[in-house]
């Protein structure tokens, strides 16, 4: 069995993985799903949050593991797992981009996020006056992230989403072929995603080639299709 390290996306926390974590554990896998600094239950001031801080946080988790892990990043979590792969390529068995930002060397997340005008996210992001963080308009959450999710899951998300620090999203990634480039990559494309639309997902995994799997889901398959997502993740370990 394998160890999965699950990295949540923007505005979210470890809470979003609860259904998938329990299913993977029932299959015999170990699961680590941290709250990134400043999000979930973590109380790090947003002014102190950087992409480097998140990367160091995840690197410490990988350093504590005896064997390479399956490193999964959802949405904005993609930039985190890419940076971790650059720093710890030998500690990763496979990178899994779950409808995630797969950014090339020298690019930042904002470079890609603004390219697809059909995304519901940019128009519904509300930036703080000091540009330190952003929130999403509450009335947009279901349509943007949880279109196929239950009312219970949407209510939980409304309660638990937190402001997203801006600095990591504007930080260019520094990736090399020697490190990041040699780690196996899988992209899980979500075909009904309205946050990172399928065309943008395809653009990213074409520019940085991956093995591609598909789910006929919204942006949040950890809620809307946990059985199917778990089956994909489990199959990758065989």
Active site residues: 75, 193, 219
Q: Output b/e per residue, 161-177; b: 16+ Cβ within 10 A.
A: bbbbbbbbbebbbebee
Question: What is the rounded CA–CA span in Å between residue 149 and residue 82?
Answer: 28
Q: What is the DSSP string of 211-234?
A: EEEEESS-S-HHHH-HHHHHHHHH
Q: How far apart are the first and last CA of the chain?
A: 9
Q: How far is CA 148 from CA 145, 196, 212, in A?
A: 9, 15, 22
């Amino acid at each position: 069995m394998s160890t999965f390290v699950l990295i949540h996306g923007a505005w979210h926390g470890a809470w979003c993985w609860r259904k998938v974590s329990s299913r993977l554990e029932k299959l015999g896998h170990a699961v680590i799903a941290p709250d990134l600094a400043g999000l979930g239950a973590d109380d790090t001031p947003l002014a102190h949050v950087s992409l480097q801080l998140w990367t160091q946080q995840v690197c410490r988790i990988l350093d504590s593991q005896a064997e390479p892990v399956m490193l999964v990043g959802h949405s904005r979590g993609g930039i985190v797992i890419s940076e971790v792969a650059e720093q710890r390529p030998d500690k990763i068995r496979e990178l899994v981009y779950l409808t995630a930002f797969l950014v090339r060397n020298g690019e930042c997340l904002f470079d890609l996020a603004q390219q697809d005008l059909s995304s519901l996210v940019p128009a519904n992001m509300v930036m703080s006056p000091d540009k330190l963080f952003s929130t999403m308009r509450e009335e947009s959450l279901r349509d943007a992230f949880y279109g196929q999710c239950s009312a219970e899951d949407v209510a939980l998300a409304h309660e638990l989403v937190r402001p997203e620090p801006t600095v990591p999203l504007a930080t260019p990634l520094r990736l090399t072929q020697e490190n990041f480039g040699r780690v196996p990559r899988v992209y899980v494309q979500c075909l009904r995603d309205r946050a990172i639309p399928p065309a943008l997902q395809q653009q990213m995994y074409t520019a940085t080639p991956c093995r591609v799997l598909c789910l006929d889901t919204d942006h949040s398959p950890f809620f809307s299709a946990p059985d199917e997502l778990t089956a994909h993740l489990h199959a990758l370990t065989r």
